[in-house]
Every structure is written in C-alpha cells, then in structure tokens.
Amino acid sequence: MKLVTLDEIKAVLPGIDLLTAIETGFVAYSEGRCIVPPVGELLMDGGEVHIKYGSLSDDPFYVIKIASGFPGNPKLGLPSGNGLMLLFSQQTGELVCILLDEGHLTGVRTAVAGAISAKYLAPRPVRRIGIMGTGLQAQLQLKHLTTVIDCREVLAWGRGVEQLRRFRRALEGFGFSLETTLDAAEIGATCNLIVTTTSATEPILRSRDIQSGTHITAIGSDTPHKQELDVGILADADKVVADSKMQCRLRGEIFKALEAGVITENVVVELGHLIGGGAQGRTTDSQVTVFDSTGVAVQDIKIANAVYDAIN
Amino acid sequence: MKLVTLDEIKAVLPGIDLLTAIETGFVAYSEGRCIVPPVGELLMDGGEVHIKYGSLSDDPFYVIKIASGFPGNPKLGLPSGNGLMLLFSQQTGELVCILLDEGHLTGVRTAVAGAISAKYLAPRPVRRIGIMGTGLQAQLQLKHLTTVIDCREVLAWGRGVEQLRRFRRALEGFGFSLETTLDAAEIGATCNLIVTTTSATEPILRSRDIQSGTHITAIGSDTPHKQELDVGILADADKVVADSKMQCRLRGEIFKALEAGVITENVVVELGHLIGGGAQGRTTDSQVTVFDSTGVAVQDIKIANAVYDAIN
C-alpha cells in the first residue's frame, strides 16, 4: 500500500493531462459506463463530511473520496476544507494507495471541470474573464483556464477590498492582467466568460447584467441552499449544461431554476454528452451558455487514477 | 497521522474491554446520541464495498469504515473480506489515524455483539453451545462467548466433514470440549445457546427443532437475501431483539419474518434498550430469545476509538 503526501501530489500534477483524464470521466459518466452511488453525508455540529465514490469499468481502481468542511477551522489556523482519496483494486478490493491530498485534488478537479466547460462552451474570442470570489478555487479556475483560453484579461469581483488585494497578490507572476471591482454588474457588463466561485446563498449575478455572447461557469453552489445566479440567467440562456443531470435535480443553480419553474429538465444537457458529441453546445458566438458544476465522483475517480499513474 | 497495521491492532486487542465499549455504543445508538447515516454501497462485478460511518457526540473521533467482499479472492490465495477504518477529529475533520485492520475489527466487533446478546439473553445455565458455520466468525463467536458464559461444551455444525475437521483444529487449545455434526436438528435438540454464522440464503435452523429455554444469536444474514432461521423461530420466540430496528426492517432475519407477516415490528426490541435498561429481555429460563445482528456503524466507531486509545 502506497501513502502519498500532498507535496508528492503537487510535484506530479503539472505533468498530468488532467483535462483529457477528466473529460474521459465525464463521457463515461454520461454514457453510463460507471457506478456512482449517491453521495454519503455526515453532518455534525462542528462540520460536514461528504463521501464520493464509485468505479469506472475501464479503470484498474475504484476510488473513495472523503472530504470535510469545518467552518471553525480558520480560527484555529487550519483550512476549513480537508480530505483524502483511497484507491482500491477492482479485482480484489485491496487498498492500493492513499492520496493524502488534504482536499487539494477536489479543488483541482473542480477547476479542470470549469476549464472543460470553457473549452466547449466559451465564445470566441474571450475578451475578458470575470471571476467572482477571491478564494483558492477562484485562483485555480483562472490557472486552469489558461490551458484552454488565450485571454489573460481578468476582472475579479469580491466582497471587500482586502480580499481583492490578497487575491491580486496570489496571482502575481501567472501572466494575468488583473483588475478588481466591488460592483458585480461590472463583471456582467465587461466579461464574456464569467466564473462564479463563492459560497453565496443569494444571487450575486443578475440576468439584466449579462451580455449576449457570454459563457458562465457556476461553481459555488453544490447544495440545495447555495445560489450565485439569478434564475433568470438560466431561463434566458440558450444552453444550460450540467455536470450531472441527476445531481442538478437536487442541488445547485439548475435545481434553483427548476424549483422556480423557469426552466424544465428537458432543456438541460449533460457535459459528458457535449464532450462525447451526443449533444450540441454553443452554435453561435452570440449565445449565452451556463455550466452548472455540482461535483461528480467521476472527477475524483479520474484524478486519483491519473495521480497514481504519474507516481508509479 | 498514525498508520496502524493489523499486527499492531492484534497486539493491543486482548487488553481492551471491548464488551463495555461496544455496549456503550449500542446504548448511545438506541438513545439517539449518535449520527449514523445509511450504509454506502458500491456493487461491482467482482465484489462489493460497504461504507459504514458515523459519530457519537461523546467520542473525540468520527469513524469511516470501508469493508469489501470479493468472492473470487480465495482462488487467488487472498481472503475474500478486506477493510480499513479511518478516524477523524470531530473538532477539525483532520485525519488522525488509519487502522489497516484488513477487515479483522469487523469480525471482532460482530463477535462482541454476539457475546453481549448472550450476556443479556442466554438462559442460565448454558449447557451446550451450538455453533453453525465453520468460518472465522464462528471461531470468533466462541472465543468471545467465553468472556460472558462459563459453558465450554460446544456442538459445531457444518456442511462438510473437512470444514468441521479444520474448525476443530483451529479451536484446539482454547479450552472447548467440541463435538461436530452434519445434522442441524441435533444443534436444536441439544444446545440452549445457538449462534448461526453462515452465509445461507435458505433456513438452516427449523422452528420444530428448537427447545424451550434457548437463545439464538443470528449473525449470518445482513442483507435482504440471506436467511439462516426459519421465520417460525421468530414467530414463536418470546423475545426478538435487533441491533438496529431501522436496519432490521430492510435486512436480516427480522426483515424476513416481517416480510412473511409472522411478526410485527412492535414486538422487536433494540439491544441498546436492553443494555440500557429501558426494555426487558429474558424473564424466565424457559423462554426462547432471538438476537438478529446486521451490523451497525456504532460498533465500528466504538472499536476503532478503543483501539486508538489502546495504541496511544
């Protein structure tokens, strides 16, 4: 059994073609070539634990990911998120490897999903990227977008000047031309690729602010309670794409729009079908497209298998 | 983070008061002082994985247990069962310890549950213990019964002479006076404490063979398909006890008897209530009692916490 630390994982990540690995996962998921049971949840007073797990018939290993969020951790000088991934042989059930990634791979695979959605759905050319939120996921989204988008003009929105200052500093040296704003409407007015990464429970982006020819990647909402987009954005969009139609029925932006009755399920397309060619994405550069990411175990399965391959 | 091997676990187990630890767990469970989400299941062509997890408010750690069964393993010279337990801080979600027990602790905590049921339900005196099945769990049940029962007279039933020969050899030196039989009726006729540990899907023990004044611990059936006891045994019993009423509605002997309509749910008592004193067990030595074990995460939580304490 191999035990791999976060430093070891970070050392091999740059050499892995994560985009292809995770695209393969989304296609397998949408084509039903994998087993992904419902997410396990342990909700305690101090924090939450989510267990995502499953197997792809083509992979040697099944994967169980344990991820936690403890909101009180920052006061103790610890990150709120944590986690690990376990790989087991599909032949024998033997534990093969533990990736002690402390939740990092969840952040990365989520950012890769954002990049994949931009690859298939962003208008051409992207003139300016709007990033909403100033946390680690916002950084990762920008970094991974550079693998599929040439644009380096970025407008970042945050709730405070101090957060935006830290965000700007964290991205120094990565080649972005980064402006900041406290006005969310400015994101809609000037950016044609927008990525939302907050934990908002009320819309931060309004339908009236969105220009034609925009792609929006909605990352933040992955529960029934969180929401970043006003449901009018989904109602008006030319294409609404889910990572998992099944999950988006129960959580995320699509859930909110279905609940409000402004869209019906039959308009929603699954990302894996878009990648696989079974469904059509953007057909003109003037359309508005939305990708709603809630996080699917196939992403964890594929990134864990890819990291294992790179280390061995 | 501490990584503990099976050998290290086996070295500390004899010094731990598992009976008290797991009794405490059953009481907490029945009194609702714990969080035990539904069991996670990953069912693949080659094998099955079960994820049991939860937390007790009084414990420092929450526990996630991953257990697998791969029926083809013995052909490869590997045990079919495998597993590990992970302990995380309830304060921060940090991974504190991995017990690489290879499934051993599941076997032990199951045997301890059998001993607890005998402590509270067996008639006095136990004249002869009937053990059905010749696997590792049958050995563990007998060994753990010695902590609560003085009787060392054992009649073992198995499906073949060779299995019974191996079983007898495995128990040599443990102080039992052990006879064997291929006739299940002989178990019912001569034993007043019976433990069934097979993976049977058809009853191996018949209502007509059970004498008054018998306690039966049914270990083997933990799915909707497995069954060791003819439902008439539960129908005729004076007391039917479940480790978890919620689980026994869906799997095990009680499920089978409910499904057949020969008992109703209100006759079923939970083990934790018996231990805690909130429910009555056996009231005379002539009654027939049945304990149905399906395996509850509190057993895993308590044994994992106890092993961690013993090692640190």
The CA distance from B254 to B248, in Å, is 6
Gap between the Cα atoms of B239 and B287, Å rounded: 8
Determine, for residues A35 and B44 on separate chains, whether the beta-carbon distance falls below 8 Å: yes
* Dist. CA B115–CA A191, nearest whole Å: 68
Number of other CB atoms surrounding residue A199 within 10 Å:
16
Identify the DSSP state of A215: E
Locate the chain B residue with the closest alpha carbon to A40: B40
Per-residue pLDDT averaged across B121-143, rounded? Answer: 97
For chain B, say whether A260 makes contact (Cβ under 8 Å).
no
Residues 6+ apart with CB under 8 A from A129: A142, A145, A149, A151, A153, A154, A155, A191, A193, A194, A195
Residue of B nearest to A48 (CA): B93
Of B302, B309, B237, which Cα lies nearest the Cα of B268?
B237
CATH code of the domain occupying B2-105+298-311 = 3.30.1780.10
Other residues' Cβ atoms within 10 Å of the Cβ of residue A68 = 26
Interface test with B, best of A6, A61, A70, A100 (most B CBs within 10 A): A70
| Predicted complex: ipTM over 0.85 | yes
Distance (Å, whole) CA A271 – CA A277: 10
Q: How far is CA A240 from CA A121, A246, A291, B97, in A?
A: 10, 14, 6, 43
Chain-wide mean pLDDT for chain B? 97
pLDDT for position B58 = 85
Convert the pLDDT of each residue in B46-105 to its tens digit: 999 999 999 998 899 999 999 999 999 999 999 999 999 999 999 999 999 999 999 999
**Stated pTM of the model:** 0.93
Residues 6+ apart with CB under 8 A from A45: B57
Strand-pair category, A81-89 with A61-69 = antiparallel
CB distance B55–A44 less than 8 Å? Answer: yes
Q: Are B62 and B53 in contact (CB under 8 A)?
A: yes
Q: Into which CATH architecture does domain A114-296 fall?
A: 3-Layer(aba) Sandwich (3.40)
pLDDT, tens digit (0-9, with 9 covering 90-100), for A94-146: 999 999 999 999 999 999 999 999 999 999 999 999 999 999 999 999 999 99
Is residue B25 predicted with pLDDT exceeding 90?
yes
Strands (E), A123-185: 129-132, 153-157, 177-181
> Rounded to 5 degrees, what are φ and ψ at B144?
-75, -25
Residues A60-92 pLDDT 10s: 999 999 999 999 999 999 999 999 999 999 999
Q: Do A70 and B92 touch (CB under 8 A)?
A: yes
A162 has pLDDT over 90: yes
Of A44, A64, A90, the CB nearest to B51: A64
Q: Which segments of chain B belong to CATH 3.30.1780.10? A: 2-105+298-311
- CATH homologous superfamily, domain B118-296: NAD(P)-binding Rossmann-like Domain (3.40.50.720)
Is residue B42 within 8 angstroms of chain A, CB to CB? yes
Helix, strand, coil shares of chain A as percentages rounded to 5?
40, 25, 35
- A58 phi/psi in degrees, rounded to 5: -80, -15
- Residues A184 and A176: beta-carbon distance below 8 Å: no
Strands B48-56 and B61-69 turn out to be antiparallel
Separation of CA A258 from chain center: 21
Q: What is the mean pLDDT of residues A174-201?
A: 97
Whole-angstrom Cα Rg for chain A: 19
Round to whole Å and give the CA distance between A70 and B90.
9
Contact A106, A99 (CB under 8 A): no
Contact B10, B22 (CB under 8 A): no
Query: Is A93 within 8 Å of B82 when comparing Cβ atoms?
Result: yes
Per-residue tokens: A230: 């006003």
Q: Which DSSP symbol is given to B205?
A: B
Residue (of A194, A177, A213) closest to A141 by Cα position: A194
